[in-house]
């Protein structure tokens, strides 16, 4: 049985050799998952599509560096997230540095049952978050990064990552109660 890191090895090897059918197949295997990441990060369908294309273009250009030390999906996810973050940074919409603000975690809305909670309602609430909150929230909750990793990825302090996550969570709860 092939290891987890070996999934799609044949298609990846053919893609490395420039086989366009294999590249198309690799794209079809991972495009939906990567688009979802792009959409959560960019909060705009057209920009997410652009990021998806740019991520795959970069991945195919760097495919010879993929060594099967991780799964292809994890490798591609890292490229995709970095592409989105770099684009957000270039747009000069940087995260709000809030380290100087007092911690308001005591103001947090208690975890209580919110009636009629659906994935669709949560997604709509996330779309209403300020960009910095949305990016940190997505990386933490949806992509599984810890605050130390988020601080390195975004170039912010761990405290800023934690405060933005806390504020994002509070804001989402407020939006869901409406």
Final residue in a domain of this structure, among 32, 57, 90: 90
Q: Is residue 98 in a domain?
A: no
Q: Rounded mean pLDDT of 1-13?
A: 76
Q: Are residues 82 and 148 in the same domain?
A: no
Number of domains into which the chain is organized: 2
Question: What CATH number did the domain enclosing 72 receive?
Answer: 1.10.1740.10
**Residue ranges making up the domain that contains 123:** 105-177
Instruction: Report yes or no on 128 lying in a domain.
Output: yes
**86 and 115, same domain (yes or no):** no
Which of 90, 122, 141 marks a domain boundary?
90
CA dihedral (71, 76, 78, 80) in degrees, to 10, reads -160
Residues 16 and 45 in one domain: yes
The more confident residue out of 56 and 150 is 56
Lookup: tokens for 78: 């890292």
Q: Are 173 and 144 found together in one domain?
A: yes
Same domain, 63 and 139: no
In a domain, 36, yes or no: yes
Residue 4 has pLDDT above 80, yes or no: no
CATH number of the domain residue 130 falls in? 1.10.10.10
Average of per-residue pLDDT across 147-170: 90
pLDDT for res 167:
94
Looking at the chain, how many residues does it have? 178
Q: What is the pLDDT of residues 95-135, one digit of tens each?
A: 444 433 444 444 444 445 566 677 778 888 888 999 889 99
Q: Does residue 74 share a domain with residue 24?
A: yes
161 lies in some domain: yes
- The Cα 139–Cα 162 span in angstroms is 12
Domain contains 99: no
- Indicate yes or no: pTM above 0.75: no
Burial tier of 15 (Cβ tally within 10 Å: 0-12, 13-18, 19+): buried
- Both 71 and 131 in one domain: the answer is no
């Amino acid at each position: 049985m092939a290891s987890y890191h070996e999934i799609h090895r044949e298609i990846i090897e053919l893609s490395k050799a420039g086989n366009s059918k294999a590249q198309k197949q690799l794209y079809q295997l991972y495009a939906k998952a990567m688009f979802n990441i792009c959409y959560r990060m960019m909060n705009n369908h057209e920009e997410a599509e652009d990021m998806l294309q740019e991520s795959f273009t970069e991945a195919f250009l760097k495919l010879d560096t993929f060594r099967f030390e991780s799964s292809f999906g994890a490798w591609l996810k890292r490229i995709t997230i970095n592409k989105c973050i770099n684009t957000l940074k270039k747009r000069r919409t940087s995260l709000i540095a809030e380290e100087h603000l007092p911690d308001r975690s005591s103001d947090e809305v208690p975890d209580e049952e919110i009636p009629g909670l659906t994935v669709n309602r949560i997604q709509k609430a996330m779309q209403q978050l300020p960009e910095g909150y949305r990016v940190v929230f997505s990386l933490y909750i949806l992509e599984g990064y810890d605050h130390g990793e988020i601080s390195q990825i975004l170039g912010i302090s761990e405290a800023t990552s934690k405060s933005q996550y806390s504020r994002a969570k509070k804001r989402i709860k407020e939006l869901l109660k409406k």
